[in-house]
Every structure is written in structure tokens, then in C-alpha cells.
Amino acid sequence: MGSSYGGAFEMRALTGIFLDTSNIDEIRKYHELGIIRGVTTNPTILVKDGASGWSEVERRCKRIAQAVSPLPVSVEVTTNHPDEMLAQAKLFSSWADNINVKITVHGPEGGVENLRMIHELETNQNIRINVTAMMSAQQCLLAAMAGATYVSIFGGRVNNMGYDSRQEIRRLRQLLDSFNLPAKIIVGSTREVLNIIEWFEAGADIVTAVPSLIEVMLVHPYSKETVRMFLEDGRKLRANA
């Protein structure tokens, strides 16, 4: 399918909904509708969608990148060891020009090593990074200052902790704008359609959504009822022609 986006493409440029899946059939379906602006994956998604083994991960990610090119595709490292993260980031980014690399803001016990790796990859290796697993505006600000192309805050999990994710998104939007930082705000961990609309209203550049949520966004029971009425009345008009 040819691109309808035109011009010289940069992964920083597009905003909108990123499809949160590695199912190639679902990706093609929604890409052909022209309503997605990228794809996000992670190890959990890949396992759920049936990827088993490194060769299958590579094959699937290359197919996704080709299917949606030039839209961005996020592929997450599977390790927190610095040397292995560096090697995987270089490998993933070599699979396609539109692949960016997801790295968590810190390791399972915290620490600053991941931020150092993010800065190295963005500034010295010219690899676009999506910093993930963040729960606060302050984490996202530091990731953006380190040079991240995308900063991903998990809005659904923020809500689950008893906080209003919209407040954190608004705070982050103000901070990035005040510091003149170009990082795009991704809000993920989407639980319901209302999240998508509210997070965009709060200042998100991108919201990730699984295919089933996009289906619910599109199909409304009153729209179905109205379409049926129009078609039935259209049938009557044709019958009386």
C-alpha cells in the first residue's frame, strides 16, 4: 500500500493513534483505513500474539515495518544489561528505517543506567528511542531532556494507582513546551475509549490503542440504527421507482 503522507517523512512528525499490537492482519486492516499513525509492540504483546523465538520476532517486526512504512514502529529491548541493550538497539534499528527502539526509563531496581543509554543512542548512535514504563511527568521530563524522541506515560496504570492521569499529561505538556523539548508524548496502558479522547484533550501527541478499542470508537449503536433506517427507506424508494 502506498503512503498517503507525502513529503520527507520524519518519525517525530506524526501524531494520532498508534496501534498497540503485533498482529499483522490487524495492523494491515487499520492501516488501510488510514486512521493509525504508527504501531507499538513490546515483549508481552509479541508473546501474546504468538511470537516464539528471536527469528520470529525479527520476521514479524520487519513485516510490520514494511506494512506501515513510513509510519513508526516501536520494538522494545528484551534485556536491561547495558551492552546487550546497545546491541539490540542497533540490531532493531537496522531492520527498517521506520523502527524505533523502546527502552524502559530504568531497570527493575531503579538506577540511572538506562537514561545514560537513551542519551547515547539518541545523540551518538542516531537511533530514535521511545522511553517507556513511565508513570509521572517528572520521569518523562528527564527522558525528554536526555534526548528521547518519544516519552511514554502509562495513563491507565496512573489511574489505577488512584491519580488522574490527565493532570500528569497536562503537567508534562506544559513542561515540554516550556523547555522547548521536541519529544512526543505517548500515553499508553489504555483501558477504555474515553481514555483516548480525554488524553488527547489533555495534551497527548499520541495515544496507543488495541484494535478492539478502535472498533468501539468507530461503531455506535445509534449510527447502526440510523444506517438501517436509511437503507430501508432507500429500498422503498427503489421499489416505487
Strand partners, 150: 130, 184
The answer to whether 102 is a known catalytic residue is: yes
Q: 8 lies in a domain? A: no
Q: 206 lies in a domain? A: yes
Q: 94 lies in a domain? A: yes
- Tell me the residue range of the domain where 57 lies: 16-210
Q: 186 lies in a domain? A: yes
Count the domains in the chain.
Answer: 1
Active-site hit among 48, 90, 102, 236: 102
Q: 42 lies in a domain? A: yes
pTM of the model: 0.92
Whether pLDDT at 7 is above 70:
no
Q: What is the CATH number of the domain that holds 150?
A: 3.20.20.70
| Per-residue pLDDT reduced to its tens digit, 87-141 | 999 999 999 999 999 999 999 999 999 999 999 999 999 999 999 999 999 999 9
For the chain, give the longest Cα–Cα distance: 75
Q: 108 lies in a domain? A: yes
Alpha-carbon 88 to chain mean position: 19
